[in-house]
Chain A
Amino acid sequence: GIQAQTVANFYLAFEAQLSIIPVINKIDLKNADPERVEKQIEKLFDIPTDECIRISAKQGTNVEKVLQKVIEKIPPPQCNTADPLKALVFDSTFDHYRGVIANIALFGGEIAKGHKIVSAHTKKRYEVNEVGILTPDEQPTHKLYAGQVGYLIAGMKEVAEAQIGDTLFLYKQPVEPLPGFKSAKPMVFAGMYPIDQTEYNNLKSALERLTLNDSSVTVHRDSSLALGAGWRLGFLGLLHMEVFNQRLEQEYNMSVILTAPTVPYKAVLSSAKLIKEYGKDQITIINPAQFPDKLSVSEYLEPTVLGTIVTPHEYIGKIITLCQDRRAVQKDMLYIDENRVMLKYLFPLNEIVVDFYDALKSLSSGYASFDYEDAGYQSADLIKMDILLNGNPVEELATIIHNDKAHAAGKLLCERLKETIPRQLFEIAIQAAIGKKIIARETLKAYRKNVVAKCYGGDITRRMKLLKRQAEGKRLMRKIGNVEVPRDAFIRVLKRETDK
């Protein structure tokens, strides 16, 4: 039936004034109920039920009807083969033998082997070796015409030469570059660091290659005292981030440390000095270290999203509670059929970036679905929360957070730190603070007894091994004030909870 993303995609297509063909798939399944779904579609999207095509992709039922409908309903591309060549690169892959294969859509003109083309982005010149269509495998053809989609091989050696969104045109016939893909706004940020600094270069090239095929991931270089040099990546969503991480592991064999996602807050500056320094009066804050003080700011802003939840009605209560807990404001509630409800809530983005989806799924036994879209910024009571060890601030654990949530988050961080820092010869006060005010505290007591009871003949070798390992570990310790903190303590505390 209709999921939250169905709704989101429908509206996107509708607003772009695209033709919509509703297709209901998997009618071969035992619990399929195409009639019910058709009614949902009619109710929600105002599309008459007789327009829906019921198919089973698995069995092939009615699939030709879809093709026919496409031919009927979808308007042909508005372009002319007489125009000069204008091709959009929308994907590229690298073949070891044939070089870069660019997937292109022609918006004007035609292209064939032997043509000399230029890339609007790199200004480099190439000669076309081969063109063809995708069926979905590559099938070489003589020519590609405006309105077609296919591939092109032109002696490009590196994937960087075929930038997604680039425009290709004929040599000596430059055209207005196509707008390319509107770069999607990143919604979720996460810090990504190599497990060890020696892996930095490997990770760097892996990231370059992965992001080439996925231009929606934004990359900013970043560094942290605890984790070394790394990046802050922006993703379209949590799922996007998960998939990206998995691809890194599977395709590039890279294991990385992902730190808790943060969202791009903004601040409207009121201090003349800072406005001059940044060159504008509204800045985006990605790193807590950049957080401008309250005195210099007239307003803090946090990004929000309009979230759509579709759920069976028995979970409404719990879901409403969950949303309220996340500082969300209800915008709409509507029954889409006898059993299911659609809820629209305006969420502060940072409330959903960590585990909202998981929480939603688990309290609805998986039946609720969720989708969201950018809904601009709203004013927010933001603060920077510092973590102190015996009074000394730990830079890499500072977070920007809404005032209402600060206490709970601070307490959690302190508790986690208490578990990961080893006991020392003196007491350690672990505190969360906003400015000078302490909002949470845990105490790690000093060791009063730490000596192994027995150390005779046989025990000695074992003791030595253990002690020497500890001595080695000392080298990797970070010293905050007089507190020794193992490097992986930060990682464990900063890591996304689901990874634990």
Chain B
Amino acid sequence: WPYCRKRCSYCNFNAYVVPAVDEAAVRACLVREAQTLLRLGQVHSVSSVFFGRGTPSLASPGTVAAVLEAVAVAAHLPAGAEVTLEANPSSTSTSRLAGFRAAGVNRLSIGVQSLDDAELRMLGREHTAAEARKAVEAARGLFPGRTSIDLLFGLPGQSRDAWAQRLEAALGLCDDHISLYQLTLERGTALAAQVRGGALPAPPQDLLADMYQTARTVLAAAGFRHYEVSNFARKGALSTHNLSYWRAEQYIGVGPGAHGRFVPRGEGSCSREARVQTLEPVAWMWEVQSQGHGTRSRAVLSPLEQLEELLTLGLRTDEGVTHERWGHFSPQLSLQAVFGAPGEARALQQQGWLVLDSGGLRCTWAGLAVLDSLLPDLLWQLQR
């Protein structure tokens, strides 16, 4: 759902703020595109659905229901499949949430970002900390054990102590899943401009590193499993959908700007493709109406490219890249063959950043924090 009521100061997503949304038209297009693409991929069964981008909680439960129904008809949507909806605290009244649950949503991800009003204002968020609390409580009531909250750290001017307080507050409030993101100052956002212009201080690198380590430690102590760079879950409440990204499984993107990775068997292809749907909603709708889907670009991924993606994404998880998953993409060349031989990976292992064993290839606790320094070496080794 690409629409938002307001653009946050740090956001550079494909999101649009428009005065009025023709929901019926958008709904029809989402349904149509979902059907087209599911058929194109000859999908038998859908393991998870994720409503994201922009502010999906602004859409009506009816739209969500329509899309889910279309999915169930075109493919098979098992009863226990994870269906997540991203929500903003300002559009999550209990009744609304109940409506979503009735429509088929069984997991909620709330963009809390911060539990401090001043920070929320700096981020340009629409809600207060109090409203965020209420929203989380409402969500936990309707989706117990299946509520996740998003938090940001490394805000301009945020001190170590302030962050420690936020963490504590969040722990007191959260359910069993937290997504913790370091604020990235993207070019072109209002917040980045403020920092660049000197109105706000840029957070020093060391402080960010400290905050991250603090978070990891504190959450670990609270029983959370750090299963991906930015995602923590306890009692097994991992996000199935997101895991499929990091395991390089197949997924279909529906809606303006959505991304997909699947094999369009319906066209007779056997190659995994990287696809992006048209960004601009109006253009997207027009394409969906005339051709059934608004795919802007599609590119076949070579075997090397698929392995590169698997490596880059897999290493973000604590499970890493398993031998089995690797074998799926590279039946001839095993993980051991590529990374076990003397070379960059071996050196990184010796330095304590990586582990290659019977479980596969994965980062150590320290390695995960500096993954992007390890990846170029590994990719280079893979290419050779």
Contact = CB atoms under 8 A, between A and B. Distances in A.
Contact of A455 (B274, B316, B368): B316
Interface stretch (A68-76, A197-205, A467-475): A467-475
B229 A455 contact: yes
Q: Looking at chain B's contact residues, is the secondary structure mostly helix, strand, loop, or mixed? A: helix
A424 B369 CA distance: 13
A457 B246 CA distance: 9
B370 interface: yes
Given A457-B258, A458-B14, A471 B373 contact: no
Contacts of A473: 376
B307 to A, nearest CB: 11
B274 to A, nearest CB: 6
Contacts of A452: 184, 229, 372
Interface string B185-209: 0000000000000000000011011
Nearest to B363: A451
A324 interface: no
B309 interface: yes
A453 B182 contact: yes
Given A456-B242, A458-B14, A461-B274, A471 B376 contact: yes
B351 interface: yes
A453 B376 contact: no
B227 interface: no
A463 B245 CA distance: 13
A238 B374 CA distance: 45
Given A448-B206, A453-B184, A457-B253, A425 B351 contact: yes
Contact of B259 (A447, A449, A461, A470): A461
A424 B351 CA distance: 13
A455 B245 contact: yes
A453 B230 contact: yes
Given A456-B245, A471-B383, A464 B353 contact: no
B27 to A, nearest CB: 21
Nearest to A458: B259
Given A457-B251, A461-B276, A467 B259 contact: no
By size class, the interface of chain B is 35 or more
Contact of A454 (B181, B205, B305): B181
Given A458-B14, A474-B380, A451 B229 contact: yes
Interface in B28-79: 52-53
B142 interface: no
A449 B245 contact: no
A467 B372 contact: yes
B373 A425 contact: yes
A468 B377 CA distance: 10
B125 to A, nearest CB: 17
A460 interface: yes
Among B14, B305, B312, B376, which residue has the most Cβ atoms of chain A within 10 A? B376
Contacts of A240: none
Given A449-B208, A468-B308, A455 B313 contact: yes
B308 A451 contact: no
A8 B378 CA distance: 63
Contacts of B377: 471, 474
A474 B371 contact: no
A463 B244 CA distance: 17
Nearest to A468: B379
Given A450-B372, A453-B184, A454-B181, 4 more contacts: A448-B213, A460-B312, A470-B375, A471-B383
Interface of A: 423-425, 445, 447-458, 460-461, 463-464, 467-468, 470-471, 473-475
Interface of B: 14, 52-53, 181-182, 184, 205-206, 208-209, 212-213, 229-230, 242, 245-246, 251, 253, 257-261, 274, 276, 305, 308-309, 312-313, 316, 351, 353, 368-377, 379-380, 383
29 contacts: A424-B373, A445-B206, A448-B213, A449-B182, A449-B205, A449-B369, A450-B371, A451-B229, A451-B316, A451-B368, A451-B369, A452-B372, A453-B184, A454-B181, A454-B230, A455-B229, A455-B246, A455-B312, A456-B245, A457-B253, A457-B259, A460-B259, A460-B261, A464-B312, A467-B375, A468-B379, A474-B376, A474-B377, A475-B380
